[in-house]
């Protein structure tokens, strides 16, 4: 590898292989690049004769992981395949797959999704005679998750503190934990907490894992939470070869438990290490960088960073006030169309927003103009009812203890197992202290079931057992087609649909599952099992990035700022620059949140390489009424000499003017030439990728 493609501090970070190392630096300074180069350097140098399999790199999303892996293979060849690149959660899942039985879970555990979790919580609430309509189960789930992550055991509530929700949480938490384990499931938090327990409580496993993974690298370290830090501390073993990179100014997940202290006090958790600062920004032109610096400078209590770029000047940041939200969408779509017609690849353009709902008007306008786009994380595919039903079949086939899924499909499609039967089966399961499945298997022994019900339950049990065997032989898509055929799933779906179009849509959902299974089998080869498919699904869904959504890749990207972490685009439209959206609602006065909103704004701005649009609507339709909007306070922080005010007026909607053509032609010229020292000499496709 050519170390000359790195600046001196980057090089230092890449070649310092032993002991803890922190790279703390601003956006676009090449932190992710340091990680990839360091891995290649490890593969070349082989300290302690390590192999690829001894290296673990942790990224923030699955998407970032697969891109980094691709990048590594591109740089170091096939031997890089052995490096494990994944998220903390995926790593935890991997560990649990090998060793969870040591903690009393079945080896084939399932990962509960949000729907499963809420169902368990609602059931527990009802058992405590708490009205699950009066109290929000989601909120309870959030509180339980918080308690779990801060290491709190499921214990009865200590006297005298907290409100109703605290009380409910303390009542429900132990039941929730028991129910999860009883059905052989873990939740998302367990993917971090249980591996930590494995390492702490089983010294042989501690040795096994710390010996296997001897060089650890973590990207986006500022957004790690306590549980992740604990796991990392243990995994660091005796040698403590931990390289963490991050930017405290980009900590944007504190609402989900991210602890910026992890990065600010890195030397406390990993003493005796080295710290490297990077100051040159390679991503953005001066104008964009100045705007970003001006916004973030207003945050108190940050480690001040001086960023510079040698990409002087560049087009000014365009601040655009549109009459209303529809006009904002029209303006964005129009500008996108113009840039594409001038040669900017669509996948080098991104539209960023604070909340998911903001994408809809933009989507409509892009569709109208026939511009291909992709909404990251916006796929509601796996929330569709029939898709959930099919997935529930998979879950039961893999794990018969999964009562939540079992209940979902026991009479779907309708097979004559009614509420009374289900009720009685439950009663028997409780009375005998055995699982529902055990009771179902001997259903004919009970004489309090409605006539004929016992036989129907048997048929269902037999169906599940048969398919359990069928899926053992791989061929997931084939088996699924047969299963759906046998239970008449398509006919039932069609019969239940309110119209032909809705039936079509529902059946497309079913086909989508089969397609996604086929893609999965192709990717995984003979290793593909229903269990790994399910685990992959829950990890992907949770991470809010959906590589499984089909389509070409030359598309404009639409996503929330949260999902845009680490990515870069030549053109960025940051929309909805208004109070209430950016910063997001009700933040006035709440200093801590306001700081996070400012960091979000900084993250959004720093995604742009060449040209940044900050758009806002003067009025917005809310619940059918047009409401006036206040410009974002962050706009006021931008120095006048880096911005240009644009008013979208009628003539601008036409073809580009001569002046514009000239401007964009220059820009286009610039796009064609790879930047000096650009990654892989331009061998990397544009858009999205960074580092
Ligand atoms: P973020 O904080 O947004 O994650 P980052 O610090 O990880 O940013 P990278 O994505 O690694 O930054 O780098 C930003 C861009 O700068 C990338 O396109 C990368 O290839 C380029 N880059 C980084 N270092 C150099 C260098 N020494 N020479 C040329 N280009 C570089
Ligand atoms: Mg990065």
The mean pLDDT value for 347-370 works out to 92
- Tell how strand 569-574 and strand 625-628 pair up: unpaired
Q: Give Cα 359 distance to the centre of its chain.
A: 18
Q: Respond yes or no: is residue 610 known to be catalytic.
A: no
Q: How confident is the model at residue 76 (pLDDT cuts 50, 70, 90)?
A: very high
Q: How confident is the model at residue 114 (pLDDT cuts 50, 70, 90)?
A: confident
Residue nearest to atom 14 of ligand 1 (CA): 28
Q: Which two tokens stand for residue 659?
A: 């002046």
Q: Respond yes or no: is residue 250 known to be catalytic.
A: yes
DSSP letter string, 533-576: HHHHHHHHHHTT--TTS-S-S--EEEEETGGGTT--EEEEEE--
Element housing 608 (H / E): strand 608-622
Q: For residue 663, is pLDDT > 70?
A: no
Give the percent of the chain with pLDDT over 70.
89
Ligand nearest to the CA of 219: 2
Å from CA of 362 to ligand 2 middle:
27
72/588: higher pLDDT = 72
Q: How confident is the model at residue 550 (pLDDT cuts 50, 70, 90)?
A: very low
Q: How confident is the model at residue 218 (pLDDT cuts 50, 70, 90)?
A: very high
> Which residues approach ligand 1 with their CB closer than 6 A?
5-7, 10, 27-33, 247, 250, 282-283, 566, 568, 606, 677, 679, 690-691
Which of 36-45, 120-129, 141-150, 533-542 is the least confident region? 533-542
Q: How confident is the model at residue 664 (pLDDT cuts 50, 70, 90)?
A: low
Task: Kindly report, residue by residue over 244-260, the tens digit of the pLDDT.
Answer: 999 999 999 988 888 89
Q: Which of 282, 352, 686 to mutate to test the pocket of ligand 1 (most atoms within 8 A of CB)?
A: 282
Task: Kindly report, residue by residue over 277-332, the tens digit of the pLDDT.
Answer: 999 999 999 999 999 999 999 998 888 888 899 998 889 999 999 999 999 999 99
HSE-up of residue 459 (Cα within 13 Å, Cβ side): 13
* Ligand 1 atom, smallest distance to 278 CA: 6
Task: Kindly report, residue by residue over 441-486, the tens digit of the pLDDT.
Answer: 999 999 999 999 999 999 999 999 999 999 988 899 999 999 999 9
Q: Which of 11, 37, 691 to mutate to test the pocket of ligand 1 (most atoms within 8 A of CB)?
A: 691
pLDDT recorded at residue 648: 84
Contact 637, 298 (CB under 8 A): yes
Give the percent of the chain with pLDDT over 90.
64
Q: For residue 687, is pLDDT > 60?
A: no
Q: Which two tokens stand for residue 112?
A: 């509960």
pLDDT recorded at residue 543: 41
615/182: higher pLDDT = 615
Contacts of 197 (CB under 8 A, 6+ apart): 103
Catalytic residue, candidates 607, 620, 629, 633: 607
Catalytic residue, candidates 187, 189, 220, 545: 220
Å from CA of 219 to ligand 2 middle:
7
Q: For residue 487, is pLDDT > 60?
A: yes
Q: For residue 156, is pLDDT > 90?
A: no
Which of 185-189, 207-211, 216-220, 660-664 is the least confident region? 660-664
Contact 272, 20 (CB under 8 A): yes
Q: For residue 539, is pLDDT > 90?
A: no
The mean pLDDT value for 225-246 works out to 95
Residue nearest to atom 16 of ligand 1 (CA): 282
Q: For residue 383, is pLDDT > 90?
A: no
Q: Give Cα 116 distance to the centre of its chain.
A: 18
Q: Measure the CA–CA gap between 415 and 418, rounded to whole angstroms.
A: 8
Q: For residue 657, is pLDDT > 60?
A: no
Q: How confident is the model at residue 44 (pLDDT cuts 50, 70, 90)?
A: very high
Q: Respond yes or no: is residue 132 known to be catalytic.
A: no
The mean pLDDT value for 419-433 works out to 92
159/356: higher pLDDT = 356
Q: How confident is the model at residue 159 (pLDDT cuts 50, 70, 90)?
A: low
Q: Which two tokens stand for residue 461?
A: 């049990």
161/83: higher pLDDT = 83
Task: Kindly report, residue by residue over 623-640, the tens digit of the pLDDT.
Answer: 778 899 999 999 999 999
pLDDT recorded at residue 327: 94
Q: What is the mean pLDDT of the chain?
A: 88
Residue 70 sits at φ, ψ, to 5 deg, of -55, -45
Å from CA of 250 to ligand 1 middle:
15
Residue nearest to atom 18 of ligand 1 (CA): 690
Q: Which of 3, 29, 33, 677 to mutate to test the pocket of ligand 1 (most atoms within 8 A of CB)?
A: 33
Q: How confident is the model at residue 509 (pLDDT cuts 50, 70, 90)?
A: confident
CA-CA distances (angstroms) from residue 601 to 352, 464, 597, 607?
Answer: 10, 50, 6, 10
Q: Which two tokens stand for residue 620?
A: 């917005």
Q: How confident is the model at residue 553 (pLDDT cuts 50, 70, 90)?
A: low
Question: Coil, strand or helix: which one is 355?
Answer: coil
Q: How confident is the model at residue 681 (pLDDT cuts 50, 70, 90)?
A: very low
Catalytic residue, candidates 67, 187, 219, 325: 219
Q: Respond yes or no: is residue 652 known to be catalytic.
A: no
Name the H helices within 255-285.
261-264, 266-269
HSE-up of residue 295 (Cα within 13 Å, Cβ side): 30
Task: Kindly report, residue by residue over 85-96, the tens digit of the pLDDT.
Answer: 999 999 999 999
The mean pLDDT value for 60-84 works out to 93
pTM of the entire structure?
0.82
The mean pLDDT value for 399-412 works out to 91
A 10 A CB-CB count for 152 gives 13
Residue linked to tokens 């940044």: 612
Q: Respond yes or no: is residue 607 known to be catalytic.
A: yes
Q: For residue 555, is pLDDT > 50?
A: yes
The mean pLDDT value for 374-381 works out to 73
């Amino acid at each position: 590898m050519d170390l000359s493609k790195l600046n001196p501090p980057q090089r230092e970070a890449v070649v310092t292989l032993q002991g803890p190392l922190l790279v703390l630096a601003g956006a676009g300074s090449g932190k992710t690049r340091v990680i990839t180069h360091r891995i290649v350097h490890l593969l070349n140098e082989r300290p302690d004769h390590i192999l690829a399999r001894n290296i673990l790199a942790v990224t923030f999303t699955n998407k970032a992981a697969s891109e980094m892996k691709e990048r590594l293979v591109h740089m170091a060849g096939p031997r890089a395949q052995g490096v494990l690149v994944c998220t903390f959660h995926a790593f935890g899942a991997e560990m649990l797959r090998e060793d969870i039985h040591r903690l009393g879970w079945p080896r084939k555990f399932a990962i509960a999704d949000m729907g499963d979790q809420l169902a368990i919580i609602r059931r527990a609430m009802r058992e405590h005679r708490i009205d699950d309509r009066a109290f929000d189960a989601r909120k309870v789930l959030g509180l339980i998750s918080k308690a779990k992550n801060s290491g709190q055991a499921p214990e009865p509530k200590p006297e005298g503190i907290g409100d109703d929700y605290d009380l409910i949480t303390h009542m429900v938490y132990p039941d929730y934990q028991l129910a999860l384990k009883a059905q052989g499931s873990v939740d998302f938090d367990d993917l971090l907490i249980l591996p930590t327990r494995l390492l702490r409580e089983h010294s042989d496993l501690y040795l096994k894992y710390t010996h296997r993974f001897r060089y650890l690298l973590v990207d986006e370290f500022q957004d790690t939470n306590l549980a992740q830090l604990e796991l990392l501390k243990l995994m660091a073993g005796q040698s403590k070869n931990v390289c963490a990179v991050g930017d405290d100014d980009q900590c944007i997940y504190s609402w989900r438990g991210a602890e910026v202290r992890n990065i600010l006090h890195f030397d406390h958790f990993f003493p005796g290490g080295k710290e490297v600062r990077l100051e040159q920004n390679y991503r953005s032109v001066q104008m964009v960088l100045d705007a970003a610096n001006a916004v973030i400078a207003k945050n108190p209590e940050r480690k001040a960073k001086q960023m510079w770029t040698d990409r002087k000047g560049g087009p000014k940041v365009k601040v655009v006030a549109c009459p209303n939200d529809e006009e904002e969408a029209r303006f964005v779509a129009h500008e996108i169309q113009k840039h594409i017609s001038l040669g900017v690849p669509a996948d080098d353009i991104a539209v960023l927003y604070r909340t998911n709902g903001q994408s809809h008007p933009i989507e409509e306008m892009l569709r109208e103009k026939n511009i291909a786009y992709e909404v990251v994380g916006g796929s509601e595919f796996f929330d569709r009812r029939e898709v959930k039903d099919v997935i529930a079949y998979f879950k039961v086939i893999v794990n018969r203890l999964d009562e939540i899924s079992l209940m979902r499909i026991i009479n779907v499609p309708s097979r004559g197992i009614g509420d009374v039967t289900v009720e009685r089966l439950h009663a028997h399961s409780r009375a005998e202290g055995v699982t529902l499945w055990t009771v179902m298997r001997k259903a004919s022994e009970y004489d309090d079931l409605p006539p004929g019900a016992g036989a129907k339950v048997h048929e269902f049990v037999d169906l599940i057992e048969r398919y359990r065997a069928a899926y053992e032989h791989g061929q997931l898509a084939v088996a699924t087609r047969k299963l759906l055929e046998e239970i008449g799933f398509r006919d039932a779906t069609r019969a239940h649909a309110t119209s032909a179009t809705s039936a079509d849509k529902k059946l497309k959902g079913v086909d989508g599952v089969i397609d996604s299974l086929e893609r999965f089998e192709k990717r995984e080869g003979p290793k593909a099992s229903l269990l790994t498919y399910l685990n992959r699904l829950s990890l992907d869904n949770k991470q809010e990035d959906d590589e499984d959504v089909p389509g070409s890749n030359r598309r404009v990207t639409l996503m929330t700022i949260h999902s845009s972490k680490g990515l870069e685009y030549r053109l960025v439209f940051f929309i909805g620059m208004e109070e209430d959206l950016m910063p997001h609602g009700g933040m006035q006065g709440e200093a801590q949140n306001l700081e996070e909103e400012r960091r979000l704004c900084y993250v959004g701005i720093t995604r742009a390489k060449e040209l940044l649009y900050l758009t806002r609507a003067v009025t917005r339709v809310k619940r059918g009424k047009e409401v006036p909007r206040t410009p974002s306070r962050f706009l006021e922080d931008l120095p006048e000499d880096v911005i240009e005010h644009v008013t979208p007026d009628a003539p601008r909607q036409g073809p580009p003017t001569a002046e514009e053509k000239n401007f964009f032609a220059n820009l286009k010229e610039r796009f064609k030439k790879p930047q000096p020292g650009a990654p892989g000499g331009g061998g990397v496709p544009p858009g999205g990728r960074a580092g």
